[in-house]
Amino acid sequence: MHAHGHDHGAQGDRKLLIGALVLIAGLMAGEIATGVIAGSLALLADAGHLISDALALAFAVVAATLAARPAQGRWTYGFRRLEILSAQANGLMLALVGIWIVYGAIRRLVSPPDVHGGIVLVVALAGIAVNIAATALLARASRESLNVRGAFVHVATDLLAFVGTAVAGLIVLRTGWDRADPIAGLVVAALMLWASFGLIRDSTRIFLETSPGDIDPEELARSILAVPDVHEVHDLHVWTLTSGFPVVSAHVLVAPGADCHGLRRQLEQLLADQYGLEHSTLQVEHAPGTLQLGPSYRRRAPLHR
C-alpha cells in the first residue's frame, strides 16, 4: 500500500514537472532573444538561469521516471537515488550559473552599457506571470522529494529574480541609471548561490548516509532499550536511502528465553510509529546466558551513525 501510494504520487509529480518544463522552455526562448536586443545583463542572467531551470527540470523528469522503475538484477534498491543525484546536479548548476552572473555583473558595474529599460520591464513582467504558473504547478507536487524540491527551488528563485529584474527595468526607464541592471543581476546570483548551498548540503548528507535530521540515533537506541527484555543494541545504523525513505538496521540482544520474533515485530512497530521508520532490518538474538544482565546493563559497542 505504501509503495503503491508512492508510485501514484511519483506519476503525478512527473506530470507537474513536465508542465513546468514546457512553460520555462517557452519563456527561455523569448527571453534570450529580447535580452540580446535590449542589452540587459539582468535578462540574460535570468535567461541563463532559465537554461539551467530547463535542464534541471528535464533531469528531474528523467530521474523521477527512472526512480519509479522496480528493483531488479544488481539494482536491488532500483533507481531511487537518481532523484538525489538530480538534486545535487541542480545545486551545482545553480552555483555555476550564479558565479557566471557575479562575474558579468561586476564587469558591467565598472563599465555599464546602455540598457533598454522598457524592454527589460515588459519581459520581466511576462517572466513573472510564467514563473507564477510554473511555481504553482510544482507547489502541488510532493515536497518530500528532494528532486522535486530542487526543481521547485530553481523556478521559485527565478520568480524572485524576475521581480528584481522588473524593478531594475523600471529604475532604468525612469532614471536612466544603467547600474540598476547589474545590481539586479547580483541579487539573482545571491539567490542562486543560497539555493545551491541548501540542495548540495542536503543531497550530500544523503550520499554520505548520515542519520535523518529529525532522528537522533542515541534517542532511538534508548527507545529500543526501554522495551522489556531488550538488553543490548549495537551496530545501529540510520540513514536515508532517498527522499522520504529513511531506513534502519541494528543488532539487538534480548533476554534468554524471550520471544525473538515477537520482540522483533514489536520493535518494528515502535520504529514505524515513533520515528516513521517503516523499512527496518533487525537482527534479534538471545543474549549469551553467561552474561550477568541487569537493569543497569547498556550496549557495549558504540553507536554508528
Q: Where are the domains of the chain?
A: 2-207, 217-286
Q: 257: left (phi > 0), else alpha (psi -120 to 50), else beta? A: left
Distance, CA of 288 to CA of 22 (rounded, Å): 63
- Residue 179 pLDDT greater than 90, yes or no: no
pLDDT band at 283 (very low <50, low <70, confident <90, very high): very high
Residue with cell 533531469: 59
pLDDT score of 8: 47
CATH code for the domain defined by 217-286: 3.30.70.1350
> Stretch 40-50: mean pLDDT, rounded?
67
pLDDT score of 289: 59
pLDDT score of 5: 45
- Percent of the chain residues past pLDDT 70, beyond the cut: 85
Cell numbers describing residue 173: 526607464
CATH code for the domain defined by 2-207: 1.20.1510.10
Burial of residue 153 (number of CB atoms within 10 Å: 0-12, 13-18, 19+): buried
Query: Alpha helices of the chain — where are they, by DSSP H?
Result: 2-38, 41-67, 82-110, 117-139, 146-175, 180-207, 217-225, 260-275
- Residue 266 pLDDT greater than 90, yes or no: yes
Burial of residue 210 (number of CB atoms within 10 Å: 0-12, 13-18, 19+): middle
Lowest mean pLDDT among 114-128, 129-143, 236-250, 263-277: 114-128
Backbone angles phi, psi at 111, to 5 degrees: -135, 80
> Stretch 74-101: mean pLDDT, rounded?
84
> Stretch 128-142: mean pLDDT, rounded?
84
Cell numbers describing residue 271: 520504529
Looking at every residue in the chain, the average pLDDT score rounds to 80
- Eight-class DSSP state of 305: -
Contact 103, 80 (CB under 8 A): no
Instruction: Note the pTM of the prediction, 2 decimals.
Output: 0.72
- Residue 31 pLDDT greater than 90, yes or no: no
> Stretch 244-254: mean pLDDT, rounded?
90
pLDDT score of 272: 93
